[in-house]
A and B are shown apart, each in its own frame.
Chain A
Amino acid sequence: NAGVMQNPRHLVRRRGQEARLRCSPMKGHSHVYWYRQLPEEGLKFMVYLQKENIIDESGMPKERFSAEFPKEGPSILRIQQVVRGDSAAYFCASSPGRMREGETQYFGPGTRLLVL
């Protein structure tokens, strides 16, 4: 059973460009989460999605960031007009359903975004 897949693993963008980060959840998982980790920091929750629905976007910046999880295909985190402060590691996680006690979110290897 393949784990959570994220691509690309590394992404370099110039200021003002768009960044698209992809996440394929584990097989059988319909819930996806995105987190961002800045250097020397813990992971910060961004958004929680189920197929075609946003469940919780309380951690998403109000501008330039969007996320989707279509019926078919991977989840996409999109950052428009990137700035240097967007440089971070972006982790995707998945779970079969709403996380119950005794369960966990399974994390992918992350995408390291560098904005020049």
Chain B
Amino acid sequence: DQQVKQNSPSLSVQEGRISILNCDYTNSMFDYFLWYKKYPAEGPTFLISISSIKDKNEDGRFTVFLNKSAKHLSLHIVPSQPGDSAVYFCAARLWGGSQGNLIFGKGTKLSVKP
């Protein structure tokens, strides 16, 4: 059973517009969420994170929103740039666990067209 779901395998956006990547989770005991970006043949690179006690975190062009009641988070990229084209993974950490076990979604492939 997938505890972290990214239901859109791909997303295509025009350069300069907003990209919205979505992530749903099932376990209410997740206390920390992270977004990673991955290029082919490379490892994931950390983008932004959010604690479960917050509902928004912003870093430059990247903003993550958390809706705990809906068990939903989203990553907004504004404005989108062609270099943002990559696979984006949502990950969650379980409260009370070893704090090392991140549970990942399957990823969403973002294509930003010039």
Contact = CB atoms under 8 A, between A and B. Distances in A.
B41 A43 contact: no
Q: B interface, how many residues as a size bin? A: 20 to 34
Interface stretch (A13-21, A53-61, A79-87): A53-61
A48 B89 contact: no
B32 A56 contact: no
Give the interface residue-count category, chain A: 20 to 34
Nearest to A100: B99
Contacts of B34: 104
A43 B89 contact: yes
Contacts, number: 70
B30 interface: no
A105 interface: yes
Interface string A17-56: 0000000000000010101000011111100100000011
A21 B55 CA distance: 39
Given A104-B49, A108-B43, A109-B43, A45 B102 contact: yes
A44 B99 CA distance: 15
Nearest to B90: A42
In this complex, which of B36, B100, B107 has the most chain A Cβ atoms within 10 angstroms of its Cβ? B100
A25 B49 CA distance: 22
A106 B46 contact: yes
A45 B109 CA distance: 21
A45 to B, nearest CB: 5
18 contacts: A42-B89, A43-B44, A43-B102, A43-B104, A44-B104, A45-B101, A45-B103, A48-B98, A48-B101, A55-B100, A56-B98, A59-B101, A101-B51, A104-B34, A105-B100, A107-B36, A107-B43, A110-B43
Contacts of B102: 33, 35, 43, 45, 105
